[in-house]
Structure 1
């Protein structure tokens, strides 16, 4: 990120004078540049820079020890970086007010076992200094599937139930930015779907989400952009379309002729192997190319026996990046 970029971001922070800022867009929910952190002789994070826009879900991926949790802790002021700058919701991370509207679910946490779920939420609302009505706190427990256990002591909760409670704590104060560090690590498949729905609901309300997860399938379902860390550095970043590259569709056809092949070439470059035709699609395809193509082929008298979308998965792309290989075509 250039010095000009940094100046632009600083110019839209909440610390800047109000005069003349009315027409400017809001600052990113997260902006960090040049983050570095060493522990003894080991470099945990080395020159990491990225942003999370308002209402965006950004996935943080990488192997164990890649520096993901260290980056999150530096963003939240839990660990002081050796170098680099951080802005949260338009304020410098050194300003305690920058974290006032941030919800955080850490990877490892423990709540007082003698408290009930409702009392844990009450405690965190008080610590946050937030105005949250009791009815809204109950709704938050219901959102994570703990409405019926609000009066039960946390010491009797399973690990998955404690994970749900941690998510409720992260959401209870109506944050503008939610940071989730392995939010589904202890959840069953139903719980993972619940978390996915919650993340998508937050996005629809304009809340930014930074998601660190080893469950690549979940990241692929909910994230707008992805940052891949490897050995403390950004190995790759971008939207899913940018990272996964060109999409293809394979069609098994009968009765194809020159007119049908011309129509497929109009949709993208085409290759044929027997009855199978592979058509490359633009990465920014709006989702109508394939339905329109099938419709036109049928109108030309072609019998369409199969339509198979083909695209490299995020897991394949991640492994290719970490192994320094080109992704499979």
Structure 2
């Protein structure tokens, strides 16, 4: 089941298009990462899907409802890139007020439970005027999930948080997924996206330039594979022939007595290298394969 579907979705301000004809689908239960440099149009795209702004052209649907539609707002949770709070209210009062507006009022204990999930339980009754940026970020996430939405939009959910809080929020996102929720998130933390997202899209100048799982993106961008092999001693009378063979089956060979590094153009070549060593009765002690990181893929997109 697709919970997000867009068809040629476009948003322009005057003669300047910010989102340029995006067609994308997100399936139920995915943690979908949306990547792009500042100014790529990510927040505008999210704001369009969540009804904050209206598209210039194209269409979209969320959870089977064609947007924009007030019914959608009751089924989704949103943490925008910037959240404002009433300085005189506590987190509990914020959550109860928001849940009442959404048509799904919650109890005080339910509020405490959600605040516990984001790591704010000790501050449940403090006024938000005393909150740090990171605490406000956590409260924004709590407000996005308090009414138990099926689809959750999180714009930079861990930016500005300390390392411990980042782990708490990442685990929360994974827990939401395990409970059948769908999470659509932006993040500049590429390690985070690679760790918790099932699929991701890279946006550049208002368009999606690549979409897929991390393995699919690696396959698309990878031209060579770097293989590092630790091995037992190679017989002296076989070294020259072996190194010649390795050089003809790969590039940039670097070798020592017990290690070599080689770039090859396919995974099949790795198996051939191991077979060649076995034929010489050289023990393969360890094989390491260097994959392109999401950061490298992002920079090449």
Residue 296 of structure 2 aligns to a residue whose secondary structure is: helix
**How far 1:270 sits from its partner (Å)?**
7.2
The aligned residue for residue 293 of structure 2 is 313
Q: 1:187-266 to 2 correspondence within 5 Å?
A: 187-245=161-219, 249-255=227-233
Q: CA 1:135–1:256 in structure 2 vs 1: closer, same or farther (change >3 Å)?
A: farther
Instruction: Tell me how far apart the structure 1 counterparts of residues 29 and 13 of structure 2 sit (CA, whole Å).
Output: 34
Deviation, structure 1 residue 38? 1.1
Counterpart check, 1:50 vs 2:31: no
CA contact (8 A) 2:229 2:284 kept: no
Moved more, 90-99 or 270-279: 270-279
Would you say 1:160 and 2:140 are equivalent positions?
A: no
Offset, 1:248: 5.4
Unpaired stretches in structure 2, ≥5 consecutive residues: 239-248
Alpha-carbon distance between aligned partners in 2 of 1:36 and 1:217, rounded to the nearest angstrom: 29
Deviation at 1:256, TM superposition (A): 5.8
Contact 1:255/1:303 (8 A) holds in 2 = no
TM-score w.r.t. structure 1 length? 0.77
Are 1:276 and 2:276 an aligned pair? no
Secondary structure of the corresponding residue to residue 111 of structure 1 = coil
| Higher mean C-alpha deviation, range 155-164 or range 39-48 | 39-48
Task: Give yes or no for contact 1:144–1:168 (8 Å, CA) kept in 2.
Answer: yes
Partner of 1:302: 283
Shift of 1:114: 0.2
Q: How many residues are paired up? A: 276
1:1-329 superposed matches below 5 A: 27-245=1-219, 249-255=227-233, 273-274=254-255, 275-276=259-260, 278=262, 280-281=266-267, 302=283, 304=285, 306-321=286-301
TM-score when normalising by structure 2? 0.83
* Corresponding residue number in structure 2 for 1:4: none
* Separation (CA, whole Å) in 1 of partners of 2:226 and 2:181: 33
User: Matched residues in 1 for 2:60 and 2:123: separation?
Assistant: 38
Q: In structure 2, do the counterparts of structure 1 residues 140 and 281 end up closer, same or farther at CA, with 3 Å as the change threshold?
A: farther
Q: Give the match's secondary structure for 1:309.
A: strand
